[in-house]
């Protein structure tokens, strides 16, 4: 399964990664509750604090947990960059990130702005330390593969996204930053969504699509140019926001085209895989790339015509893309981690990876996730479908959490039976 570029002897303890992954269902249920208390028309008004609260649950509570947890695994295993005292660092980063995200949600959704100050302190402290710690390790890697370079660009985008979040918070507190808060918000969102999450998905895909699904490698033009191109365009976007706003739609068009091409190339690679069986994770990757392609197309329409519903559709599809990638990766990473760490302990009863999270359970999640997309489409006909979206999100969060807990119960029941 693993190629010569991987180094498993430096893998962190399983608890380092799983503490982040096991928190994702909590934020998924919290998100579904927020959706139940809101309505579709309200949440699509991007200037409302409640909308910002929901967006941050997705970006920090769900994607943030998945991305930080995955980075703790990918740095030593894919990049060969060992993180000393990983258990200690992960413990504090996780606690601060959870508390900060919950406080920020409460501040925005329930108009309790007194929570904004500690929330920003906790979030900038935890995520800022992630940026510092992991960039320091990645810059020290001698053989920087496209995945390593992509992680560098992603973490750099996270750092800049945090900077603009801090400036935006100061502006909302009444501090004169000399910049329109709407400009700061747009730049912040671009770096966080496209730079941090979008580029990190690219970096992961370059490695795992070929590795897990035995596909032809990505074209060198894609792996070597796309992450760097996205990051450079985001820097130009930030600069143009302050000095030449007329350039912004053209930058958005270029960004949308890059992600559209990436999505189509990935779909093509999945069609060329050498293993004919399509499990739940293959379909989740297909759904993710299909959602990203559609999100990019709607973003193109919004940039060319200023058609507001297209921008809303693009945002919702991008959120669905994020969820799909997280689920696809989890159902590959978690069984492998359990299997690998039990084998490392010499446990003779170690189950096969396919038995840790059975295919039937993953397929049930896939069907609920597909129904979530159908409910989203139903919003075009009736706003009452928003409640169905919330219910399905709660259902898949509970099932996802149950699947992860099942895997950890297997590990806990066998970890002391090793001969090593």
Q: Has residue 179 got a pLDDT over 90?
A: no
Region of 387 please: left (phi>0), alpha (psi -120 to 50) or beta.
alpha
48-82 residue pLDDT tens: 888 889 999 999 999 999 999 999 988 887 777 77
382-392 residue pLDDT tens: 777 888 999 99
Q: Is residue 349 part of a domain?
A: yes
Q: Has residue 328 got a pLDDT over 90?
A: yes
Q: Are 19 and 80 in contact (CB under 8 A)?
A: no
Domain count, the chain: 1
Average the pLDDT over 270-290 and give the result: 88
Spatial distance between the Cα atoms of 16 and 237, rounded to a whole number of angstroms: 36
Q: Is residue 310 part of a domain?
A: yes
173, two tokens: 């507190």
**Percent of the chain at pLDDT above 90?**
61
pLDDT on residue 9: 59
| Residue reference for tokens 């990436």 | 262
Q: Is residue 61 part of a domain?
A: no
Q: Is residue 228 part of a domain?
A: no
Q: How confident is the model at residue 246 (pLDDT cuts 50, 70, 90)?
A: confident
146-160 residue pLDDT tens: 899 999 999 999 999
208-235 residue pLDDT tens: 898 888 889 999 999 999 999 999 999 9
Q: Is residue 87 part of a domain?
A: no
Q: How far is CA 231 from CA 107, 153, 225, 306, in A?
A: 31, 6, 10, 24
Q: Is residue 256 part of a domain?
A: no
Q: Is residue 259 part of a domain?
A: no
Q: Name the residue with higher pLDDT: 278 or 257.
A: 257
What residue numbers bound the domain in which 283 lies?
Answer: 277-412
pLDDT on residue 420: 63
Average the pLDDT over 253-268 and give the result: 96
Q: Name the residue with higher pLDDT: 293 or 145.
A: 293
pLDDT on residue 182: 87
Question: pTM score, two decimals?
Answer: 0.93
Q: Is residue 267 part of a domain?
A: no
Q: How far is CA 238 from CA 186, 191, 235, 256, 318, in A?
A: 9, 9, 5, 16, 21
């Amino acid at each position: 399964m693993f190629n010569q570029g991987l180094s498993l002897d430096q893998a962190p303890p399983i608890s380092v990664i799983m503490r982040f992954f096991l928190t994702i269902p909590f934020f998924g249920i919290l998100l579904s509750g927020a959706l139940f208390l809101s309505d579709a028309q309200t949440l699509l008004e991007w200037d409302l604090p409640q909308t910002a609260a929901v967006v941050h649950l997705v970006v920090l509570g769900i994607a943030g947990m998945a991305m930080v947890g995955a980075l703790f695994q990918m740095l030593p295993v894919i990049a060969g960059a060992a993180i000393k005292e990983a258990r200690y660092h992960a413990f504090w980063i996780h606690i601060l990130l959870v508390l900060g995200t919950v406080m920020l949600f409460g501040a925005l959704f329930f108009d309790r702005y007194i929570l904004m100050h500690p929330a920003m302190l906790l979030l900038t402290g935890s995520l800022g330390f992630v940026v510092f710690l992991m960039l320091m390790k990645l810059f020290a890697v001698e053989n920087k593969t496209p995945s390593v370079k992509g992680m560098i660009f992603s973490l750099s985008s996270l750092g800049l996204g945090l900077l603009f979040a801090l400036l935006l918070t100061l502006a909302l507190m009444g501090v004169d930053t000399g910049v329109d808060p709407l400009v700061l918000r747009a730049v912040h969102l671009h770096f966080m969504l496209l730079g941090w999450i979008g580029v990190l998905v690219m970096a992961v895909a370059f490695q795992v699509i070929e590795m897990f699904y035995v596909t032809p490698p990505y074209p060198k033009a894609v792996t070597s140019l796309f992450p760097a191109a996205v990051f450079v365009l985001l820097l130009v976007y930030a600069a143009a926001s302050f000095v030449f706003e007329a350039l912004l739609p053209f930058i958005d068009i270029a960004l949308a085209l890059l992600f559209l091409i990436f999505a189509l190339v990935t779909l093509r690679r999945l069609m060329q895989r050498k293993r004919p069986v399509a499990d739940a994770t293959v379909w989740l990757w297909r759904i993710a790339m299909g959602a990203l392609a559609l999100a990019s197309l709607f973003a193109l329409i919004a940039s060319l015509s200023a058609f507001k519903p297209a921008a809303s559709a693009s945002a919702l599809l991008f959120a669905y893309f994020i969820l799909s990638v997280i689920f696809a990766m989890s159902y590959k990473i978690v069984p492998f981690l359990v299997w690998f760490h039990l084998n490392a302990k010499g446990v003779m009863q170690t189950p096969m990876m396919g038995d840790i999270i059975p295919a039937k359970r993953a397929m049930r999640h896939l069907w609920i996730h597909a129904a979530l997309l159908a409910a989203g489409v139903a919003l075009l006909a009736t706003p009452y479908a928003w409640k169905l979206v919330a219910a399905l999100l709660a259902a898949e969060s509970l099932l996802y959490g149950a699947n992860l807990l099942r895997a950890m119960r297997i590990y806990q029941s066998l970890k002391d039976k090793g001969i090593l």
